[in-house]
C-alpha cells in the first residue's frame, strides 16, 4: 500500500501542480516578468477565485504613446487545454471592461452596495481563456499621448490597432499562441469583429511564423452589420411590436430609402416617432423598465449618431423582480473611477485627463465606416472560418428582424431549417444553420444577451467553441 500511496502522491503532484504551470513553462524570462507585472492579485470587493487574472497596457504605437488596455482571465479549469476568446463591445466607443466584463459575461459583475463585486456563475471563462480589450484609444482606460489620434478614429485604424495589440499581447503571453483563437462581441462589433478577423486572415498569409495568429472563427451578438437591412429591421420591429402606429410605419416606408447612406431629411422627419421611443422606454430591452433615479446616456452612433437617453423611470420593484438592473452602467461608472480599483488593475497609469466612463465620445470623430460588413463576412466564410450570429429577440436597437434581413442578403443555402433549441426543458430560442453560418435567437433577451440570459449565453458559447449544434430536444 505504501508504494501505491507514493505513486498516487506523484500523480496528484502532476495534476495539481505541474498541470497548473503547464501553460507557463514555455514562457521566456522577459515575457514572464511582464506577466507578473500585470498579475492582478485581487480587485476591491471581489470574491476569492482560483484562476489567475491579468490586466494592463499593451503598446500599439510607441512613437505616439498609444496603448490599449486589456483584462485577461485564465479559464477556471485547465487553461492550457482551453481556447482563447477575445470579447469586443461596440458603440463605437463603449468599454469591453465596463460592459462585457463587469455587466455581462465576465467572472466579476458590478453591483450596488457592498460587496461591490459578485461572481458570475455563468462566466464565459468556464469555457475559454477570456480576454477583454478596450478599443480604440479613448475608450475606457485605453489612451494615446498624441491628441490627433483621438481626432482621426474609424473602423480601419481600430482593426489595425487591435491586430497590433494581439501580436504584442501574444509576445507577452506566448503560452497561448498555439491555442485555438476566436473573436466575439456585440452591437458595433458587427464591424469590429469581422474587420479584425480579415486583418488577421490577410496578415497570416504574409507574416512570420512567430506572429501567426491561430484564428478559427467568430461569434457576434445583435450585430450592427448592414445599414440597409439594419434600418429596415429596426423600423419593422418597432411596428410589429406595437411601438409605432400603422400610419408612422407607412410614412417611414414611403419616405425612407435605406439603400442610400443618407436617405435625407424627409426620411429623418418621418423617423421622429420611432426615435422618440428612446425617451420613454428601454429600447435595449423593450420589456424592461427604465433605470429609476438615473439619467443615463448611451453611445449609439449606429442609429444616425444620435444620443439615446434613458429618462427617469418608475417601478423599482418590477426592475428587481425581473433580475435585471438597468442601472448597472451607473454601478460600473462609480466602481471603475475609484483609485483603489484602478491601482489594482494597473490602469490609468498616465492620469488620463477625464473620468472613466462606460462609453466615450470617440464616435463624434469617426472617420470611416462602411455601410456593410457583409462582403467581409462572406470572405471569411469562404476562408473556412466558423461564423455564428446570435440575437436577443427583445432588443429594439439592433433587433432580430435586422439580423434576419441581413443574413438573407448573403444568400446562403440552408442546411438545417429554422427550429427551436432547448436549455434543459425550456425553449431557449430558435436556430437556423446555413452553409457556412449558424444563426441563433435567444428568447426574451435584449441587446446585451448575457445580462438577460446568462445561462443560455454560456450554453451558446460552449456549443460555438465545440462546433456543436444546440440541443434540438428537451434534456
Q: Which residues are catalytic?
A: 187, 395, 447
| 213/211 Cα distance (integer angstroms) | 6
Do 98 and 358 form a contact (C-beta atoms < 8 A)? yes
> Which residue blocks in 147-255 are alpha helix, DSSP H?
155-172, 189-204, 227-240, 246-255
CA–CA separation, 189 and 205 (whole Å):
24
CA gap 106, 100 in Å, rounded: 6
178/421 Cα distance (integer angstroms): 33
Sort strands 84-88 and 129-134 into parallel, antiparallel or unpaired: parallel
Phi, psi of 402 (to 5 degrees): -60, -45
Using alpha carbons, list the distances in angstroms from residue 137 to 36, 189, 298, 462.
24, 16, 18, 31
Give the Cα separation of 173 and 176 in Å (integer). 6
Cell of 385: 472560418
Residue 93 CA, chain-centre distance (Å), reads 12
Q: How is residue 61 annotated by DSSP? A: E
CA nearest 105: which of 390, 458, 439?
458
Considering only CA atoms, which of 239, 396, 393, 402 is closest in space to residue 308? 396
Sign of torsion, CA 296 156 235 377? Answer: negative
- Cell numbers standing for residue 186: 456585440
The residues facing 392 across adjacent strands are 442
Amino acid at each position: 500500500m505504501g508504494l501505491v500511496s507514493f505513486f498516487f502522491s506523484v500523480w496528484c503532484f502532476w495534476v495539481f501542480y505541474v498541470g497548473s504551470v503547464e501553460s507557463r513553462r514555455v514562457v521566456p524570462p522577459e515575457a514572464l516578468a511582464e506577466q507578473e507585472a500585470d498579475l492582478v492579485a485581487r480587485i476591491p470587493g471581489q470574491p476569492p477565485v482560483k484562476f489567475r487574472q491579468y490586466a494592463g497596457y499593451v503598446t500599439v504605437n510607441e512613437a505616439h504613446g498609444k496603448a490599449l488596455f486589456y483584462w485577461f482571465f485564465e479559464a477556471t479549469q485547465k487553461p492550457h487545454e482551453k481556447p482563447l476568446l477575445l470579447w469586443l463591445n461596440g458603440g463605437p466607443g463603449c468599454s469591453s471592461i465596463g460592459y462585457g466584463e463587469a455587466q455581462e459575461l465576465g467572472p466579476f459583475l458590478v453591483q450596488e452596495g457592498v460587496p461591490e463585486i459578485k461572481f458570475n456563475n455563468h462566466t464565459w471563462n468556464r469555457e475559454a481563456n477570456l480576454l477583454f480589450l478596450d478599443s480604440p484609444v479613448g475608450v475606457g482606460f485605453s489612451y494615446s499621448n498624441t491628441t490627433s489620434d483621438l481626432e482621426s478614429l474609424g473602423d480601419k485604424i481600430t482593426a489595425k490597432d487591435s491586430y497590433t495589440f494581439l501580436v504584442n499581447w501574444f509576445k507577452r503571453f506566448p503560452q497561448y499562441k498555439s491555442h485555438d483563437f476566436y473573436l466575439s462581441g456585440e452591437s458595433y462589433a458587427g464591424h469590429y469583429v469581422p474587420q479584425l478577423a480579415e486583418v488577421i486572415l490577410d496578415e497570416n498569409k504574409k507574416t512570420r511564423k512567430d506572429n501567426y495568429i491561430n484564428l478559427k472563427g467568430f461569434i457576434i451578438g445583435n450585430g450592427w452589420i448592414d445599414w440597409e437591412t439594419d434600418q429596415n429591421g429596426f423600423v419593422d420591429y418597432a411596428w410589429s411590436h406595437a411601438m409605432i402606429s400603422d400610419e408612422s410605419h407607412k410614412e417611414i416606408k414611403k419616405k425612407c430609402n435605406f439603400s442610400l447612406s443618407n436617405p435625407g431629411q424627409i426620411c429623418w422627419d418621418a423617423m421622429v416617432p420611432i426615435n422618440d421611443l428612446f425617451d420613454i422606454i428601454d429600447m435595449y430591452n423593450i420589456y424592461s423598465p427604465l433605470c429609476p433615479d438615473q439619467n443615463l446616456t448611451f453611445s449609439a452612433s449606429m442609429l444616425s449618431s444620435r444620443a439615446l437617453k434613458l429618462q427617469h423611470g418608475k417601478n423599482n420593484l418590477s426592475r428587481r423582480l425581473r433580475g435585471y438592473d438597468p442601472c448597472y452602467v451607473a454601478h460600473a461608472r462609480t466602481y471603475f473611477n475609484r483609485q483603489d480599483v484602478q491601482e489594482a488593475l494597473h490602469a490609468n497609469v498616465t492620469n488620463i485627463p477625464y473620468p472613466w466612463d462606460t462609453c466615450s465620445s470617440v464616435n463624434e470623430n469617426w472617420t470611416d465606416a462602411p455601410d456593410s460588413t457583409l462582403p467581409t463576412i462572406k470572405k471569411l466564410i469562404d476562408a473556412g472560418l466558423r461564423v455564428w450570429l446570435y440575437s436577443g429577440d427583445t432588443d429594439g436597437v439592433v433587433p432580430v428582424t435586422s439580423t434576419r434581413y441581413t443574413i438573407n442578403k448573403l444568400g446562403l443555402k440552408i442546411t438545417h431549417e429554422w427550429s427551436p433549441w432547448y436549455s434543459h426543458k425550456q425553449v431557449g430560442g430558435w436556430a437556423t444553420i446555413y452553409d457556412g453560418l449558424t444563426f441563433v435567437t435567444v428568447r426574451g433577451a435584449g441587446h446585451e444577451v448575457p445580462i438577460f440570459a446568462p445561462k443560455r449565453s454560456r450554453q451558446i458559447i460552449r456549443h460555438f467553441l465545440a462546433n456543436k449544434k444546440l440541443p434540438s430536444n428537451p434534456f
